[in-house]
Amino acid sequence: MEKNFGCFFYLKKKHKFESGEICIYLRITVDSGCVEISSKRKCFTEKWNAKAERVEGKTEYAKNINAYLDTLQQKIFEAKRRLIEVDEDISAGKIKDLVMGKKIEKERFTLMEQFKIHNEQMKALVGKDFAPATLQRYETSYKHTLNFLQSKYKISDIEITKLNYDFITDYEFWLKTVRNCDHNSTVKYLSNFKKIVNHCVKSGKLQRDPFLGFNMSKKEVERDVLNESQLKTMSEECFQAERLVLVRDIFLFCCYTGLAYADIEKLKQTEIIKGNDGDLWVIAKRQKTNVTSRIPLLRPAFEIIERYKHHPQCIRKGVVLPVLSNQKLNSYLKEIADSCDIHFNLTFHIARHTFATTVTLSNGIPIETVSKMLGHRNLKTTQHYAKILDKKISDDMKRLKDYRF
């Protein structure tokens, strides 16, 4: 918004003027900038009232000129109002252009173009500020947003200024119905989308946040984990197929360390380090958060490492374990679940949940310590992962059994 605005009529003598009528000019001032406009009208000096900025007298001649100047002044204020309405910076030059009949073309920003710019910048920062998996999530979110626009509006892009609350709720409905996403997955995609919207709001491309009043809360999910008995059964099960033995061992290693798939896949032998206590530790940065996990190596995990240290893939790549693709791991885990009488959908990420609950929290490890080993940035994330088991609750409450209130 401008600080100073002025509109001033005056007589301007042309070069080598000697006598006769003088041209009436209008000067528009906005802050430190000013422009002049010729009114295309003239007046004798002795008839001009400089204070009133009008022609003196009640003659038809004076009335006609003054009425015209009033109209011109009104156009100036109307031009200023139009600039404010379209949220355009106000300048003397822009007001003049509008008065002279020129159109002011406001720069327009579109959603998918802004989304594309964001993803390209993120791609350039992969390995520095972002993990490859983070970029992949935003690229997937980009595709969902594009498909929504094409499905709902039959367009491939939309102006940022057209985003509103109804657009967000329609997108949420589309994700849950057409894409068949569950509630929490929908919230994740909308969170990615919201980052683009927030950037547009902060940079002034969008005046109002369309997410204002929209509920982004996730639903609490009961996460399946292996209990001690199931862990023991799996570790002792004899599999005929070598592929199942390998997958079982990789899965158990993550149950004993809390590492996610992306972290165990790239875990180097050089990241198994002897700590100050003389024991071996896993000290490695998490791919997702770039936060360092520091995990003392339990004996079962060490034995698994020893079992594969001469494996050709481990020697060639310098990794701790010969990890298969996540898709194959999850496929083979279904066979392992059937063999071990596990009656829920066993996925690789359950190993991380099992570490957080059965292996650590239920055995009295403080949640702050578990959070550090999991490589979380804050305790809230650990509480989301780590479900307190009934056994832990029972053990904690036993301390109060003999307490007299």
Question: Is 209 a domain residue?
Answer: no
Q: What pLDDT, on a 0 to 100 scale, did the predictor assign at position 128?
A: 82
CATH number assigned to the domain comprising residue 324: 1.10.443.10
385 & 265 share domain: yes
Question: Is 405 a domain residue?
Answer: no
Is the pTM above the cut of 0.85? Answer: no
Q: Choose among 191, 168, 194, 172: nearest CA to 182.
A: 172
365 & 281 share domain: yes
81 & 45 share domain: yes
291 & 315 share domain: yes
346 & 386 share domain: yes
Final residue belonging to a domain, choices 66, 99, 132: 99
Final residue belonging to a domain, choices 202, 218, 237: 202
As a three-state string, the secondary structure of the chain is CCCCEEEEEEEECCCCCCCCCEEEEEEEEECCEEEEEEEEEEECHHHEECCCCEECCCCHHHHHHHHHHHHHHHHHHHHHHHHHHCCCCCCHHHHHHHHCCCCCCCCCCEHHHHHHHHHHHHHHCECCCECHHHHHHHHHHHHHHHHHHHHHCCCCCCEHHHCCHHHHHHHHHHHHHCCCCCHHHHHHHHHHHHHHHHHHHHCCCCCCCCCCCCCCCCCCCCCCCCCHHHHHHHHHCCCCCHHHHHHHHHHHHHHHHCCCHHHHHCCEHHHEEECCCCCEEEEEECCCCCCEEEEECCHHHHHHHHHHCCCHHHHHHCECCCCCCHHHHHHHHHHHHHHCCCCCCCCCCHHHHHHHHHHHHHHCCCHHHHHHHHCCCCHHHHHHHCCCCHHHHHHHHHCCCCCCC
Tokens linked to 332: 């083979």
145 & 91 share domain: no
Q: What pLDDT, on a 0 to 100 scale, did the predictor assign at position 2?
A: 55
Question: Is 104 a domain residue?
Answer: no
190 & 236 share domain: no
| Residue segments in the chain with a per-residue pLDDT below the cut of 50 | none
Domain count within the chain: 3
310 & 394 share domain: yes
Neighbours of 298 (CB within 10 A): 17
What is the distance of C-alpha 194 from the center of its chain?
Answer: 6
Most distant pair of Cα atoms in the chain: their distance: 115
Question: Is 308 a domain residue?
Answer: yes
**CA atoms 226, 228, 229, 232: torsion sign:** positive
264 & 190 share domain: no
Question: Is 90 a domain residue?
Answer: yes
Q: What pLDDT, on a 0 to 100 scale, did the predictor assign at position 88?
A: 75
Q: What pLDDT, on a 0 to 100 scale, did the predictor assign at position 16?
A: 74
Tokens linked to 45: 């000096």
Q: What pLDDT, on a 0 to 100 scale, did the predictor assign at position 341?
A: 93
Question: Is 218 a domain residue?
Answer: no
Question: Is 339 a domain residue?
Answer: yes
**Which domain range does residue 73 map to?**
5-99
Question: Is 79 a domain residue?
Answer: yes
Q: What pLDDT digit, counting tens, does each position of 334-365 carry?
A: 999 999 999 999 999 999 999 998 999 888 88
240 & 321 share domain: yes
Q: What pLDDT, on a 0 to 100 scale, did the predictor assign at position 75?
A: 92
Quickly tell me which residue has 């053990």 as its tokens.
Answer: 395
The length of the chain in residues reads: 405
**CA 118, CA 145: separation in Å to the nearest integer?**
14
390 & 276 share domain: yes
Q: What pLDDT, on a 0 to 100 scale, did the predictor assign at position 222?
A: 76
**CA 290, CA 262: separation in Å to the nearest integer?**
12
Q: Choose among 392, 394, 305, 395: nearest CA to 356.
A: 392
61 & 115 share domain: no
